[in-house]
């Protein structure tokens, strides 16, 4: 629809069973809603070939790859060389998701930290943005991000950000981005919306994290990239601007951070 503002779902999981079974329709609905691009995220490197194949088969889809912190204990540790090699693919546009999750998997905290530092090194070497998952690990996350940034700069997005104001500030102070998921559209998320409202608009992305965290009016049901539009409309209200303006600004932000996707001119 030419009159629908263009936006990007910067984080989804199109290879998950809830979406892969009807992928062409999922992508078509996204485009109808103005979601012109999607970045599908590989969370276990053993699945990278199948995630890559999705991006190769569908023009609007790009991908990122890494080891999710909740999988670090059960998966082989990613290596720097492995991540750098994967990043050579023209549609591989981000490193991760990686990070720390002490909510469910605190027992593997040290391995998660080691994995995170490897992924940061890969982001630094490749110039691709790091994609961070952080849950119940704010202090360690902030410390590692700062420590590694002091060793050499890299770019980063705090995906599905729903942590503390202190972690948001730590990330923003390093020049990083915060991504708004469906959580920011939940009625009781006023405190989280306040954190975003105090952030620079030029550091904001939007995402679904589908098939999870569907925003209203689909809350409690399966999420999909088309619903990025619902989150983005609520985000426009948070920033006190109209939807078309927010869409344009968030698109510019995505293209600044995910510059490889912005510059991509190849066929699917």
- The 10s digit of each residue's pLDDT in 72-88 is 999 999 999 999 999 99
Q: Which residues of the chain have pLDDT under 50?
A: 1, 268
Read off the pLDDT of residues 189-220 as tens digits, 9 standing for 90 and up: 999 999 999 999 999 999 999 999 999 999 99
Residue 3: its pLDDT value, please? 79
Residue 267: its pLDDT value, please? 55
Instruction: Kindly report the pTM of this predicted structure.
Output: 0.96
Residue 1: its pLDDT value, please? 42
- Options 3.40.50.1000, 1.10.357.10, 3.30.460.10, 3.20.20.140; CATH for 7-263 is 3.20.20.140
Give the strand order in the sheet containing 92-101: 7-12, 35-42, 61-65, 92-101, 130-135, 156-158, 177-180, 204-206
Name, in order, each residue with C-beta under 8 angstroms of 55's C-beta and a sequence gap of 6 or more: 40, 61, 62, 63, 91, 92
CB 129 within 8 A of CB 157: yes
Domain coordinates in residue numbering, the chain: 7-263
DSSP 47: G
């Amino acid at each position: 629809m030419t009159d629908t503002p263009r936006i990007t779902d910067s984080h989804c999981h199109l290879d998950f069973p809830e979406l892969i079974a009807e992928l062409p329709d999922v992508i078509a609905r996204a485009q109808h809603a103005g979601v012109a691009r999607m970045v599908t995220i590989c969370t276990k490197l053993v699945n990278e070939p199948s995630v890559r194949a999705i991006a190769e088969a569908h023009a609007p889809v790009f991908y990122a790859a890494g080891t999710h912190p909740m999988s670090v204990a059960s998966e082989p540790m990613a290596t720097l060389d492995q991540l750098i090699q994967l990043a050579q693919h023209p549609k591989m546009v981000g490193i991760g998701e990686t990070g720390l999750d002490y909510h469910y998997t605190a027992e593997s905290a040290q391995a998660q930290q080691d994995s995170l530092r490897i992924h940061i090194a890969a982001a630094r070497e490749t110039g691709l943005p790091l994609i961070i998952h952080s849950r119940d690990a704010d202090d360690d996350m902030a410390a590692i991000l700062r420590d590694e940034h002091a060793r050499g700069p890299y770019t980063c997005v705090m995906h599905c950000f729903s942590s503390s104001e202190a972690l948001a500030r730590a990330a923003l102070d390093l020049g990083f981005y915060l991504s708004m998921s469906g959580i920011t559209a939940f009625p009781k998320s006023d405190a989280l919306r306040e954190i975003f409202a105090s952030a620079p608009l030029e550091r904001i992305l939007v995402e679904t994290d589908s098939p999870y965290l569907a925003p209203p009016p689909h809350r409690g049901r399966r999420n999909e990239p088309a619903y990025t539009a619902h989150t983005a409309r609520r985000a426009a209200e948070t920033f006190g601007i109209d939807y078309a303006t927010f869409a344009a600004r968030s698109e510019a932000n995505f293209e600044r951070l995910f510059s490889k996707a912005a510059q991509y001119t190849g066929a699917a």
